[in-house]
Amino acid sequence: MALVREMTMRTGIAGQRTIDVKVEYSGAGPDRYTFVGTVYGEPGPVVMVHGTTQTFVHDPARFGDLFGSDWVLRFFE
C-alpha cells in the first residue's frame, strides 16, 4: 500500500503542470516521484519520472478527467 506523504505542484508555460510527490510504501522508506502533464482538459499525456527513469502513463484518464493532486492520489491507490 502506498501512502502519499508530501505533494507540491507548480504550473509552467503552455499549461504544463509538474507535481512532485513523496510516497511511502509498507516496509520501505519514502521515495520521490515527479509527474508532468497538462492543466487543459483530459489529462494526457502524463509522464512519471522516478530517479532517471521516465515512464509514460498509458490511459491517464482512468485516474480522473483533470491532472492535479486528486489525479495523483488516485494513481497511488
pLDDT surpassing 90 at residue 1: no
Average pLDDT over residues 47-75: 93
Asked whether the beta carbons of 69 and 75 are under 8 A apart, the reply is: no
pLDDT at 41: 67
What's the CA gap between 50 and 48, in Å, rounded?
Answer: 7
pLDDT in tens, 9-49: 999 888 899 999 999 988 787 899 999 999 886 767 899 99
Provide the phi-psi class of 41: left if phi over 0, else alpha when psi is between -120 and 50, else beta.
left
Three-state SS at 11: strand
The answer to whether residue 72 scores a pLDDT higher than 80 is yes
